A and B are shown apart, each in its own frame.
Chain A
Amino acid sequence: MIAYTIRRLLAAVPILIVSSFIIFWVASLSADPIRQRFEGRNPPPPAATIQLERERLNFDAGFFRQYWDWLWNLVVHQDFGPSINSAMNIGSELGRRTVITFRLVILAMVLAVILAVVTGVLSAVRQYSRLDYTFTFLGFLFLAMPSFWLAVVLKQGAIAFNDSVEGNLNRRPIPTINHQASVVPEEFWPRMMDIALHMVLPTISLALITYAALSRFQRSSMLEVLNSDYIRLARAKGLSARRVMVRHALRTALIPLTTVTALGIAAILGGAVVTETVYQWRGMGDLLVTAVVAQDRYVTMGWLLVAGLFVILGNLAADLLYAVLDPRIRYE
């Protein structure tokens, strides 16, 4: 299995190279970001300034040469390339923002899985009951809801709540924008508290959007298990209903959910971009949207490497977990 893992990780390298090249190619299709930036400036910037900027961004080299230089600098110097914003170091910016976004993504994912297992299992055990229909309808509703829409509605609700609790603009019970207070508290615990409070709304909206599909999945896999022969055997042996449900049915029915969750990392990242936009977080989402609008190609490519790596690791984790949990599957 270790050999299998190493082989899969090695296979990820060409995938990331090809996809970063595609991003680079798409980025080079669009207009010249330098001209876009300096156009219409009055007085026009001196030609030397433009030339320096072109050199800094390596725009005078040929198409393939530019890509090669980027790859070379990345591998040899761990340098993600120059950003249009000359004050930004792409590597450290990516690191900082990944931490911000991933605390949201991971917490939302944990919440979503718990919610999905509880509702999915209850739905399956009481199939076609009123409870099942309620959960099914709620699941479908969240499945049909655009993530940004739910986020804005929750934000609006929180604003109304804040207004009703306290009129003072400086002390709001539930923060509705940004990932931390504008003045970050010095001590450890107040700082953690500040971060946690800022996470409340984005986590709830991302978790609700994510749980719906998982819950439908959990319901059907639980149903399949409950209708299988070995559960009938377990009941026939005279085991208690609780033991049959928890030890026999649930343990088996959780296996497919692990895989689906690990495979869903890409979708959650996409959802996080939109959620962060609504709550004005300065995370990976903001970084990507800003970079795409400003045609900041090396930032976009760096973003792709981080996100792509997580997607590939997620897929690998899905396969490995499957092998660990299901003894019938073996990888050579």
Chain B
Amino acid sequence: MSDASTKAAPSAEPPARAEREFTVKERTQFQIVLSRFLRHRAAVVSLVVLLLIILWAYLGQRVWPRAYNWLEGPGSAAPSLQYPMGTDEVGHDYFSRVMRGAQQSLNVAFLVALLSTAIGAPYGAIAGYFGGRVDMVMMRIVDVMLTLPVIAVAGMLTQYLRGTWWVVALILAGFGWVVNARVVRGVVLSLREQEFIEAARALGASDARVIFRHLIPNVTGVLIVQATLDIAGAILAEAGLSFIGLGIQGPDTSLGLLTNLSQEAVGTRPWLFYFPGLTIIAIALTINFIGDGLRDALDPRQTRQRR
């Protein structure tokens, strides 16, 4: 009885209670980021929607009965159960064309983001780390890239090289990496003054080791967020180029090309114009929300909670 009463008394076992209160489950960096990301409702919904769009664009074509270049349907049929997005004037099944277009646009966007990061991150890190004359020369090259009009160069090259999706992606990445380089350079400029870099150098780390083992890992968060911006930007850039006829060329298709071809039909056969356009918006919108969620989740200074 006395045992039970001492256990029940609040002041009887202070050490055990304290222990219980201060035992915190250890969480890795990844778990912290994940739980913060999950709190951003718009980002989570966007992630699900985007994954569905990707599945639809890449796998849907295998399941759907009619290929994107099948053209035996009725001409200019309105959306129906059989043709969910209608048909165009030559009898293409528009649903499978939008699917194909989304796939090509996503191909371009992912390759652009990958290449821009792979080129821009080391470039910016090297310029920012060494500073001085190296930085000046490297940044003048960036200035030249920034004055070149993307539309002119891309337009001339896609005509010359027959615009397939990877040509368009290479050209857009050829301009896109500049932004990543500037962002990384900016972060590295402040990182390189911090103690851990000084410590690494004092321990005898080579420049290459400092850049690739210490600086770039610390820029990862910024790079991931920038990659989402790259993807959204590339989707819109590809659409814009294809829209003025200087991007992906027929007989292949992309979301921008589809809107271009249906521009005149918007009054009479609106489905030809709105479906590819809404797909572009859906992709770019979800990616922007995901990027926003990632930025909040990866920022260690972020303390204010979302309601």
The interface of chain A, by Cβ under 8 A from chain B, is 11, 15-16, 18-19, 22-23, 26-27, 29-31, 128, 140-141, 143-149, 152, 156, 159, 266, 269-270, 273-274, 277-278, 288-289, 291-293, 295, 300, 303-304, 307-308, 311-312, 315
Contact = CB atoms under 8 A, between A and B. Distances in A.
Contact of B289 (A140, A278, A300): A140
A308 B284 CA distance: 28
Given A31-B160, A140-B285, A144-B232, A23 B152 contact: yes
Contacts of A312: 143, 147
Interface in B50-76: none
A309 to B, nearest CB: 8
B157 interface: yes
Interface stretch (B6-14, B205-213, B239-247): B239-247
A27 B152 CA distance: 9
B87 interface: no
B90 interface: no
Interface in B149-203: 149-153, 155-157, 159-160
Nearest to B153: A26
Interface in B96-140: 140
A274 B148 contact: no
16 contacts: A22-B153, A23-B152, A29-B156, A140-B285, A143-B232, A144-B232, A145-B284, A146-B243, A146-B280, A152-B259, A273-B244, A274-B243, A292-B155, A292-B246, A304-B148, A311-B147
Report the 4 A-B pairs with minimum CB-CB distance, sorted nearest first: A144-B284, A308-B147, A144-B285, A292-B155
B149 A143 contact: no
B306 interface: yes
A141, A148, A312: residue with the most chain B Cβ atoms closer than 10 Å: A148
A295 B292 CA distance: 41
A297 B157 CA distance: 13
Q: Majority SS of interface residues in chain B?
A: helix
Interface in B260-307: 263, 266-267, 273, 277, 280-281, 283-285, 288-289, 292, 306-307
A228 to B, nearest CB: 13
Contact of A19 (B147, B157, B280): B147
B146 interface: yes
B53 to A, nearest CB: 13
Contacts of A292: 151-152, 155-156, 159, 246
Contacts of B155: 289, 292-293
B146 A143 contact: no
A304 B147 CA distance: 8
Contacts of B227: none
Nearest to B240: A274
A270 B150 contact: yes
Given A26-B157, A304-B148, 5 more contacts: A29-B156, A146-B243, A146-B259, A147-B236, A289-B246
A303 B281 contact: no
A148 B239 CA distance: 9
Given A128-B307, A270-B149, A292-B159, A146 B288 contact: no
B267 A304 contact: no
Given A140-B285, A141-B285, A311-B146, A146 B236 contact: yes
B288 A140 contact: yes
A300 B146 contact: no
Contacts of B16: none
Contacts of A27: 156
